[in-house]
Amino acid sequence: MRHSRRGQVDPFIVMDVMEKAARAEAAGRHVIHMEVGQPGTPAPEGARRALAQALDAPLGYTVALGLPALRQGIADLYRRWYGVDLDPARVVVTPGSSGAFILAFSALFDAGDRVAMGFPGYPSYRQILRALSLEPVGIPTRPEDRYQPRPEDLPQAEGLILASPGNPSGTVLTAPELAALSQAAEACGMALISDEIYHGLSYDGRCVSALEVTDEVVVINSFSKYFSMTGWRIGWMVVPEPMIRTLERLAQNLFICPPHASQVAALAALDCIEEAEANLSVYAENRRLMLEGLPRAGFRRIAPPQGAFYIYADVSDLTDDSLAFAAEILERAGVAVTPGLDFDPERGRRTLRFSYARATADIVEGLARLERFMATR
Helix (H, G, I), strand (E, B) or coil at 209: coil
Residue 204, pLDDT score: 86
Element (DSSP H or E) covering residue 101:
helix 96-108
Distance (Å, rounded) from C-alpha 256 to C-alpha 319?
A: 47
In contact, 328 and 258? CB cutoff 8 Å: no
Burial class of residue 205, CB neighbours in 10 A (0-12, 13-18, 19+): exposed
In the chain, DSSP finds a helix count (H) and a strand count (E) of 11, 13
Angle among Cα 339, 343, 349 to the nearest 5 degrees reads 45
Structural domain boundaries of the chain?
Answer: 13-42+274-376, 45-272
In contact, 235 and 220? CB cutoff 8 Å: yes
List, in sequence order, every residue forming a beta bridge with 238; answer none if it has no partner: 91, 219
Alpha helices in the chain (DSSP H): 13-26, 45-54, 68-82, 96-108, 123-131, 175-187, 244-254, 260-269, 273-297, 322-333, 360-376
Cα atoms in the 13 Å half-sphere on the side-chain side of 230: 10
Distance (Å, rounded) from C-alpha 268 to C-alpha 24?
A: 37
In contact, 376 and 73? CB cutoff 8 Å: no
Choose among 137, 140, 197: nearest CA to 172. Answer: 197
Helix (H, G, I), strand (E, B) or coil at 301: strand
Q: Which residues of 72-84 are buried (b: 16+ CB within 10 A; e: fewer)?
A: bbbbebbeeebeb
In contact, 235 and 262? CB cutoff 8 Å: no
Distance (Å, rounded) from C-alpha 294 to C-alpha 368?
A: 10
Residue 24, pLDDT score: 87
Instruction: Work out the number of other CB atoms within 10 angstroms of the CB of residue 26.
Output: 8
Domains 13-42+274-376 and 45-272 alike in fold: yes
Helix (H, G, I), strand (E, B) or coil at 320: coil
**What is the domain class of 45-272 according to CATH?**
alpha beta
Query: Could you read off the pLDDT tens digit of each residue along the chain, which spans 377 residues?
Result: 888 988 898 878 888 888 988 898 999 999 999 998 889 899 999 999 999 999 999 999 999 999 999 999 999 999 999 999 999 999 999 999 999 999 999 999 999 999 999 999 999 999 999 999 999 999 999 999 999 999 999 999 999 999 999 999 999 999 999 999 999 999 999 999 999 999 999 998 999 999 999 999 999 999 999 999 999 999 999 999 999 999 999 999 999 999 999 999 999 999 999 999 999 999 999 999 999 999 999 999 998 899 999 999 999 999 999 999 999 999 999 999 999 998 999 899 999 999 999 999 999 999 999 999 999 98
In contact, 266 and 122? CB cutoff 8 Å: no
Give whole-number Cα distances, 64 to 112, 132, 329, in Å: 28, 21, 45
Residue 164, pLDDT score: 98
Residue 182, pLDDT score: 98
Distance (Å, rounded) from C-alpha 348 to C-alpha 322?
A: 7
Fold for 13-42+274-376, please state it: Aspartate Aminotransferase; domain 2 (3.40.640)
In contact, 356 and 203? CB cutoff 8 Å: no
